[in-house]
Structure 1
Amino acid sequence: MFSSNSSKMFFFFILIFSTLISISSNSWFGCWIGMEINLLSFIPLISNSNNLLSTEASLKYFLTQSIASINFLFSILLKMTLLKNFEMNYFLSIMINSSMLMKMGSSPFHFWFPNLVEGLSWFNNLILMTWQKITPMIILSYYFNKNFILMNIIFNVIIGALGGLNQTSLRKLMAFSSINNLGWMLLSIMISENLWLFYLLMYSFMITIMFFMFYFLNMFHINQLFINNMNSLIKINMLINFLSLGGLPPFIGFFPKWIIINFLIINNMYMLTFIMIIMSLIVLFFYIRIIYSIFLFNYIKTKWIKIYIKNKKFSFINILSYISLLGMILSTFFFM
């Protein structure tokens, strides 16, 4: 039943509505119910009886999300029934924040995330790295523990940068990139919800282009990018999108990061600014290493294989890629 397209579309719409239930609820129980519906609608999307990796991924996702949900439910029950002293509230805020961070795959609760993405398709990875972060992030903004979240931001940017250095799988690479960007997202939602929404939209736009490009090219590992003899237009689009995702200044991916860096400098948070920028440079390093391989490596054995994408959808992706070049123009007008 789950393999048919109609059932997949049904669960996809349930997934969307469950997020709307959680973020529009006026009680903790409403948020919890929305997250449970979200969990039960996402599992049929990622499970596939013909693929052992996706079956394992769905089981891992169910277990980790269930643990986070139990933690969240236990926390809100304690909050509603037990003492209201300061120490208890501080402890409960850490518990609620931890459960939401686990649901997002944030550090130090990220261990399930890179292993999970390896068993998912590009489309399911796109949902996991964008839409599935909305509900936990909104609930997290209701009950911040500032010091705990700042510690998690630093962990996210460091682990996301260092974890991607030794990866050969594109899906794991994008997972660690997502962990790194999650640190920036957490910082942006601490500043302003509008800034977080802007960062999420920019990040979703960039990785949507990347994931659909990998999907059309049927790419899953880094060596496929330089073994296959791609035409110049595809290589240039790869260059633009990787550098934009890394946050290099001429591209649109730098725009939301620039706003966050400006806020940190204005508020004299120089040490945090230094850590964020250095870790972003490490992320850019392994992106540039991939681009270097794409442009300069020549694999003689498969030189006769030439990839040409004659697809209207891919042509649309090409057009979207060049929007990233507008980043510096938008940034200039914004800060005039």
Structure 2
Amino acid sequence: MFSSNSSKMFFFFILFNSTLIAISSNSWLGCWIGLEINLLSFIPLISNSNNLLATEASLKYFLTQSIASINFLFTILLKMIMLKNFEMIFFLSIMINSSMLMKMGSAPFHFWFPNIVEGLNWLNNFILMTWQKITPMIILSYYFNKNFILFIIIMMNVIIGALGGLNQTSLRKLMAFSSINNLGWMMSAIMITENLWLFYLFFYSFMISIMFFSFFMLNMFYINQLFTNNLMPIIKINLMINFLSLGGLPPFIGFFPKWIIINFLILNQMYFLTFIMIMMSLIVLFFYIRIIYSIFMFNYLKIKWLKIFIKNNNFLLINILSFFSISSMIISTLFFF
């Protein structure tokens, strides 16, 4: 996955550290500096001179992140000037939150996200959908008062994430809309407590790491490749387990964090929000199950001779992780009760 050159590793190291700088900073300016370093270390990782799509994606990413950073910096300066004026607090919180939402690729600022995801490889997509969400989420939680606007944004995320994925043929775009949907869940988790958000992020990262690792090894980018290339039955079963787990279907591990979030939302009497989130999860499950159905049912005679195999050690790793996806739900349920 990694290139053998040291500059890639150097940028990975800076990317890792910049997040730590931003989330451990005492001032807004420190957060901004962390975000800027993060941006400038991620761009060399995603740009590839041999791939026009990757180059275009890195330019788009730079532009959107720069706009969000300018907005954030402007708000910080405004906050410093208007410190005595407490009527501005609500306006400032909306400004800061909107720039963080734009950095994450959250609705209603999500339009750049699927386009950029389409131009990246699986490893860069994994970083974009997991690690790059941490800093904006932490900064978002500083000003996360439970107001009506945030409920609307959470609902927009789960609805756009569910409906946007219905019409996609590209696996990367599908995972992008799935990420937008999961962002809604993460925001409702951080509204309750940061520990719950961390818990959800860990499980989400674990699930999509198996998915992306599988797609990377199978060299798959579009849905039709999953059924035109005759995969081994065990690979199909693994994909089925991981898709259903990501959709949040019990008894898979992906259901567990969603279950806890639903529990807390109901305890806090947010019934309408819970209803919308559960309904949209059903739509997400619908398009996952549609893919799984196609993988198992379609058989292409023209390319019967093309069998896709994976190297044994990598294949064993995916098998173990997929098994963990089933078994750990049962274990965690026992612990929960």
TM-score interval (norm. to shorter): over 0.9
Q: Which residue does the alignment assign to 1:31?
A: 31
For residues 144-203 of structure 1, give each alpha carbon's deviation from its aligned partner in whole angstroms, at most 9, with x where no partner exists. 142222211000000000000000000000000000000000000110111000000000
Contact 2:64 2:103 in 1 (8 A): yes
Contact 2:105 2:180 in 1 (8 A): yes
CA shift for structure 1 position 283: 0.2
Give SS of 2:50's match. Answer: coil
Q: Distance in 1 between matches of 2:54 and 2:200?
A: 30
Contact 1:122 1:211 in 2 (8 A): yes
The code of the aligned residue for 2:250 comes to: P
Q: Which residue does the alignment assign to 1:163?
A: 164
Q: Distance in 2 between matches of 1:313 and 1:102?
A: 36
Contact 1:156 1:179 in 2 (8 A): yes
Aligned residues: 334
Give SS of 2:166's match. Answer: coil
Q: Return the TM-score normalized by structure 2.
A: 0.97
The code of the aligned residue for 1:235 comes to: K
Q: Distance in 2 between matches of 1:239 and 1:121?
A: 22
Contact 1:94 1:145 in 2 (8 A): no
Counterparts in 2 of 1:234-313, with a 5 A limit?
A: 234-313=235-314
CA shift for structure 1 position 4: 6.3
Contact 2:151 2:273 in 1 (8 A): no
Q: Which runs of 5+ in 1 are unaligned?
A: none
The code of the aligned residue for 2:318 comes to: I
Q: Return the TM-score normalized by structure 1.
A: 0.97
Q: Does 2:193 align with 1:176?
A: no
Q: Which residue does the alignment assign to 1:224?
A: 225
Q: Distance in 2 between matches of 1:270 and 1:131?
A: 31
CA shift for structure 1 position 327: 4.2
CA shift for structure 1 position 270: 1.4
CA shift for structure 1 position 308: 1.7
Q: Does 2:200 align with 1:199?
A: yes
Q: Which residue does the alignment assign to 2:97?
A: 97
Which range moves more in the overlay, 221-230 or 262-271?
A: 262-271
For residues 7-62 of structure 1, give each alpha carbon's deviation from its aligned partner in whole angstroms, at most 9, with x where no partner exists. 11110100000001101111111110011000000000000111110000000000
Q: Distance in 1 between matches of 2:86 and 2:145?
A: 13
Q: Which residue does the alignment assign to 2:132?
A: 132
Counterparts in 2 of 1:39-78, with a 5 A limit?
A: 39-78=39-78
The percent of aligned pairs where both chains have the same amino acid is 81
Q: Distance in 2 between matches of 1:118 and 1:324?
A: 27
Contact 1:60 1:112 in 2 (8 A): yes
Q: Distance in 2 between matches of 1:51 and 1:200?
A: 31
For residues 67-126 of structure 1, give each alpha carbon's deviation from its aligned partner in whole angstroms, at most 9, with x where no partner exists. 000000000111111254343110000000000000000000000000000000000000
Q: Distance in 1 between matches of 2:281 and 2:328?
A: 17
Give SS of 1:164's match. Answer: helix
Q: Distance in 2 between matches of 1:314 and 1:26?
A: 45
Give SS of 1:25's match. Answer: coil
Q: Distance in 2 between matches of 1:201 and 1:299?
A: 38
The code of the aligned residue for 1:323 comes to: F
CA shift for structure 1 position 304: 1.7
CA shift for structure 1 position 317: 1.6
Contact 2:266 2:274 in 1 (8 A): yes
For residues 288-329 of structure 1, give each alpha carbon's deviation from its aligned partner in whole angstroms, at most 9, with x where no partner exists. 000001101111211221112133123212211111102431
Counterparts in 2 of 1:109-128, with a 5 A limit?
A: 109-128=109-128
The code of the aligned residue for 2:173 comes to: K
Q: Does 2:208 align with 1:211?
A: no
Q: Which residue does the alignment assign to 1:152?
A: 153
Q: Which runs of 5+ in 2 are unaligned?
A: none
Contact 1:14 1:38 in 2 (8 A): yes
Q: Which residue does the alignment assign to 1:7?
A: 7
For residues 191-245 of structure 1, give each alpha carbon's deviation from its aligned partner in whole angstroms, at most 9, with x where no partner exists. 0111000000000000000000000000000000000111111011001000000
Contact 1:216 1:314 in 2 (8 A): no
Give SS of 2:65's match. Answer: helix
Contact 1:254 1:327 in 2 (8 A): no
CA shift for structure 1 position 265: 1.5
RMSD: 1.2
